Amino acid sequence: MTTDHYVDRRDAGRRLAARLMHLEGYSILVLALPRGGVPVAQEIALALKAPMQLLLVRKLGAPISEELGIGALVDGQPVQVVLNDALVVRMAISDDHIEAEVARQRAELERRRAIFQGGKGPPDVLERHVVLVDDGVATGSTMMAAIQGMRAGGAYRITVAVPVAAPDAARELAASVDEWICLAEPEGFNAVGDYYENFQQYTDADVSQMLAATPDTDLA
């Protein structure tokens, strides 16, 4: 197995944790992007003895297609609306559409929070050092929205930790955070799943179980 391939997400998480041990003992908050980022983040949180929570990000769709993202809703206290202003202007998207889409995605975000976290509130990142974790980065749009949401929410330092990323996305993201930890940025990147021997899909129940097994508050 080469250094840019992993047995599974837990293997990737353990390798990432080894690169993050300089953060052990500091007051950090590990934030996992579900679903695939959760087992990676869990290994990091357990190794660093740090709290872990979910960071829910919901794409805001354009009027012509829900798949075309004009921004994102990022969970937090408060929930942050991150818009691609250039795209909004170019497509002449109305305030009414944005408001309706934000309301729709906020409802879905709250529904998922209730499923995953039993009604617990969103992460509070004000004046926190947050470590954003996913199982890999392809286009980088979701992670960029998460970064922007964390900045708007008052995080004072942002570390992004991922096992693998497309080189172009990696360069853009690395320039946007305080610390970028990525184990592999292979040329010819195609898809995140290509770098895992086991890239199983997780259910909502799997995510809830992992969250229950990981501290979500600061340890004394």
Domain assignments of the chain as residue spans, ordered by start: 9-55+120-212, 57-117
Q: How would residue 120 be classed by pLDDT, with cut points 50, 70 and 90? A: confident
57-117 shares the fold of 9-55+120-212: no
pLDDT of the residue at 217: 52
Tell whether the torsion through CA atoms of 96, 99, 105 and 107 is positive or negative.
negative
List pLDDT tens digits, range 136-157: 999 888 899 999 999 999 999 9
Q: CATH fold of 9-55+120-212, please? A: Rossmann fold (3.40.50)
pLDDT digits (tens, 9 = 90+) for 66-107: 777 888 899 988 888 988 888 899 999 999 999 999 999 999
What pLDDT, on a 0 to 100 scale, did the predictor assign at position 70? 87
Better-predicted residue by pLDDT, 136 or 2:
136
Q: How far apart are CA 157 and CA 171, in angstroms?
A: 18
Number of neighbouring beta carbons within 10 Å of residue 86: 9
CATH class of domain segment(s) 57-117? alpha beta
Look at residue 71 in the predicted model and tell me its pLDDT.
86
Whole-number pLDDT of residue 56: 92
2-6, 85-89, 158-162, 211-215: which is most confident = 158-162
Amino acid at 14: R
Q: How many whole angstroms separate alpha carbon 107 and alpha carbon 73? A: 11
Block residue for tokens 């690395």 = 174
pLDDT in tens, 146-203: 999 999 999 999 999 999 999 999 999 999 999 999 999 999 999 999 999 999 988 8
pLDDT, greater one: 9 or 5:
9
Give the pLDDT score at 43: 96
Nearest alpha carbon to residue 61 among 94, 98, 112: 98
Exposed (0-12), middle (13-18) or buried (19+): which is 124, by Cβ within 10 Å? middle
Is the separation of the CB atoms in 157 and 150 below 8 Å?
Answer: no
More confident residue, 36 or 214: 36
Q: Which one, of 106, 102, 99, lies nearest residue 75 by Cα?
A: 106
Nearest to 112 by CA among 28, 40, 55, 43: 55
At 219, the pLDDT band (50, 70, 90 cuts) reads very low
